Amino acid sequence: MKFYDYMKKHKVINDEDLAFVKVREDDLYGDQRVDLNSDRFTLIQEVGKKLYGIEKNSIVYSAHKSFDTLPLNNPDMNRRGLHLFRMIFSRYRFPKGQDTTFDTSGLVIQHDFLKDEFVKLVSEECSLYPLVTYKTNENLLVDAQSPGLKHMLVDSPLKSIILSFIRCKESQSKYHYDDASSKFRRNTFIQRVLNKVGDGDEQKVLHKDIFFPAIKFWYFPDEVREEYGPFNFVQADMISEPMLDFFYDQSCKIANDSWDRTRDRSHPEGSMRIFDDEIASMGFKRTSVAVPANTLVIANVGNFHARGDVVKEWTRNSVHGSIRIEQPFRT
């Protein structure tokens, strides 16, 4: 949904400013045939200046997600849609014709990713790493030398596939390509999740990592059954009207410090939490991504997702990584 169409119904932006937004947004959205490849951020910044008085070097145009500083936590600006402006206009950095379903549905599953001779190697090599869910010096794969993991990082198409979904091709943007390549190298590690029944893990509550499309990926060398606590995901357009209703309401409550504390401390930090009954009321549901061995799962973690629960204690191994670009509004 367009920012103009959504904010018009709230009647918190005057007609003159809304008319200005409509013209710029129509150009960015692609309703008018204008070559904007080099001027898209200029148009985005013009809207930000008009509505909120923000300059092009403002933190608003960065990847900073927490509502911990001005103007991101300004109550009046959020009442006039600042957080929604960031969500929607960050998706305008490329023309509409370049969009993929990854930005909306947000989930890609590739079975039989590696050749058979490497699957067992990767599985065995993963089991040698410590039981840790986050990256450390011990599980980072920057210079992996074991044959299976080295093949995966150097010879398989993993990196090119990941960068293509975040639209960081070298031919499109050298800056974004270098940024994403560096993050792929620094953020890919062996994740071993020791999942326990009723462990109170905050990652099991549906949440989104950031306000714009970003990537996390998991290569599972072993089967992940339903009872093993698979990755959970909500396939929904984050800028559909029911979702924007939720984000508008929550951003205003966070800015006013009236947000529901049961949502967890990460909620005002920009990793918003949502409950299953709220998702259901929008007509969406969480999908449990149980997969066979040798499967690559790529998720847009700008969408809601969670760690699944288990029937009994289980360790889930994967090659895991994440990429979140530094300049989400720039082409």
Token pair belonging to 170 = 């070298």
Q: What is the pTM of this model?
A: 0.94
Burial class (CB within 10 angstroms; exposed 0-12, middle 13-18, buried 19+) of 97: exposed
Burial class (CB within 10 angstroms; exposed 0-12, middle 13-18, buried 19+) of 181: middle
Extract the runs of DSSP E, i.e. beta strands, from 18-137. Answer: 107-111
Token pair belonging to 24 = 């710029």
Q: What is the mean pLDDT of the chain?
A: 92
pLDDT in tens, the chain (331 residues): 999 999 999 999 999 999 999 999 999 987 554 454 557 899 999 999 999 999 999 999 999 999 999 999 999 999 999 999 999 999 998 776 665 567 778 999 999 999 999 999 999 999 999 999 999 999 999 989 999 999 999 999 999 999 888 765 555 567 788 899 999 999 999 999 999 999 999 999 999 999 999 999 999 999 999 999 999 999 999 999 999 999 999 999 999 999 999 999 999 999 999 999 999 999 999 999 999 999 999 999 999 999 999 999 999 999 999 999 999 998 7
The reported pLDDT for the residue numbered 315 is 97
The CATH homologous superfamily to which domain 101-236+284-323 belongs is q2cbj1_9rhob like domain (2.60.120.620)
Extract the runs of DSSP E, i.e. beta strands, from the chain. Answer: 107-111, 189-195, 215-220, 231-234, 286-289, 295-300, 305-307, 314-323
CA dihedral 135, 137, 138, 144 (to 10 degrees): 90
- CATH 2.60.120.620 residue spans of the chain: 101-236+284-323
